[in-house]
Amino acid sequence: MKSERSILLIVTMSFVLLASNLLNFTVSTNKFSESYPSTVCAPNISGLSTAISLTPAQIQFRKTGTKSMKTKTIKVSRYAVASQSAIFESEQVTPVVWQTRKGVWAGAIACSAPSTSQWFIGATADITSKGSLNLVNSGLGKALVSVSIFTEKGSLSPQEFIVKANSYKSIPLVSLAPGSKKIAIHVEPKSGRVNAFVIDERGKGLKALGGDLVNPSSDPAKILEIPAIPQQVKKKTAKPHTLRLFVPGDISARISAEIRSTDGTFSPLGINARVIPHQKVIEIPMDFKMKSGKFALIIKSDQPILGSVFSKTFVQGKSDFVWSTSAPALRDFTLATSGLSPTLVFTGKSVRVTLEILSGKGNTRLVNIRGEDIATYKVSDTTRSVRFTKIARGVSGAALISSKSGYGYLPLAPGSVLTKSSIPTSNISVLNP
């Protein structure tokens, strides 16, 4: 009798527990929306030419300067913008802006999704400066943007700018920090869909000294990787480089540096163990010549730090300069390269990247990049896009682009990443603390 009861109890409890666990799946009614935010490209301001590299696929786009959010479809591999800023629904493809002042300078920057914080380590606001900070508001509501400027003397009071709906505002750098030679800019939109772009254009009287689009840096980090710094080794008049650093925190940073090149890896003189004072923009000359055409610079710091390298370039008889900014770890994305033919530079202890190269004819071929410390790959003229896949850990990259007008640098980072947002559901508990 007792054993019957035991069996009955054990069987019943086991069955209930087993059945309950099998049936214990909650039908989640949470809804999520996955999308690539639209990317916003640098505006074409007066006197410049802007061409945006795209893939041949159909892309929805619109421009600022209108009151409508309506998009149009285009199917071109390169789009020339006459004015304003272009906004693309380019999904996983990152369009690239190639901006030039004909015969004077050139620069490259990726179109990117609006951001709530952007750092620019580069440009000058001294007497030679003809550059500007361009704030693009791609939303239909007005935007309030806070701009903080840091100079060699310290920080300046933040300034706030209102940018009208679906428009851009160009602010001369000299008006932000008059007379400052070394500047760093922090753009923080308080409201609105805002992208910032910095043009560093210089001239002395009528003499043009070149220009570049300063790419935004990643957030301050203890390790900076600047994957590609161009070195004009074949020219007798190879120009030196200048490292610009900025410690945004409240504690000064002690840094060390490592240069990776095809010539080898070494620590440059005059940088290691150097203390970088906080809240001041510091420049360190890098007076060395590398045999190879490009090299990478890795900076390690005990405090979060930002930095970039200013390099003078000389291409096709044209002097220019370029700002090589830090790049985040490389991730899977597609870079539109139509008409750019960039040189891709990858750095890392062990470089392992597979490139899916889409040609103009629509063919795709795979290229495996393998190397130690640094590896380069020159993309052909006919290539429309390059997708980076199968990326080893710790690899970052940048693209160097040259043209008749000048030299450009582009960190390899997606302009827009897949964003998963929860679709709100009606739930009264949101009104309960």
Select 34 or 250, whichever has its Cβ closest to another protein: 34
Please give, one letter per residue, the 3-state secondary structure of 16-80.
HHHHHHHHCCCCCCCEEEEECCCEECCCECCCCEEEEECCCCCEEEEECCCCCCCCEEECCCEEE
Nearest distance from residue 63's CB to another protein, in Å?
15
Concatenate the DSSP letters of all residues of 139-171 into one string: SSS-EEEEEEEEETTEEPPPEEEEE-TTEEEEE
> To the nearest whole angstrom, how small is the minimum distance from the Cβ of residue 328 to another protein?
17
Residue with smaller CB distance to another protein, 37 or 348:
37
> Which residue lies nearer to another protein by CB, 363 or 426?
426
Q: What is the Rg, in whole angstroms, of the alpha carbon atoms belonging to the chain?
A: 25
23 or 206: whose CB is closer to another protein?
A: 23
**Comparison of 27 and 206: residue with beta carbon closer to another protein:** 27
CA distance 104 to 254: 38
Nearest to 170 by CA among 201, 208, 206: 201
The distance of closest approach from Cβ of residue 143 to another protein in the complex, given in angstroms and rounded to an integer, is 7
* Residue number with CB closer to another protein (26 or 157): 26
- The minimum distance between CB 415 and another protein, in angstroms, equals 15
**Pairing relation of β-strands 221-230 and 294-315?**
antiparallel
**Smallest gap, in angstroms, from Cβ of residue 141 to another protein?**
5
Is there a contact between 348 and 394 (Cβ–Cβ < 8 Å)?
A: yes
Residue with Cβ nearer another protein (58 or 117):
117
Residue 156 Cβ, how far from another protein at the closest point, in Å?
23
**What's the closest the beta carbon of residue 150 comes to another protein, in angstroms?**
23
How many angstroms separate the CA atoms of 196 and 184, rounded?
13
Q: Residue 86, by phi and psi: left (phi above 0), alpha (psi -120 to 50) or beta?
A: beta
Give the binding site for another protein (CB under 8 A). Answer: 2, 5-6, 9, 12-13, 16-17, 19-21, 23-24, 26-31, 33, 35, 37, 69, 114, 116, 138-144, 165, 189-193, 419, 421-433
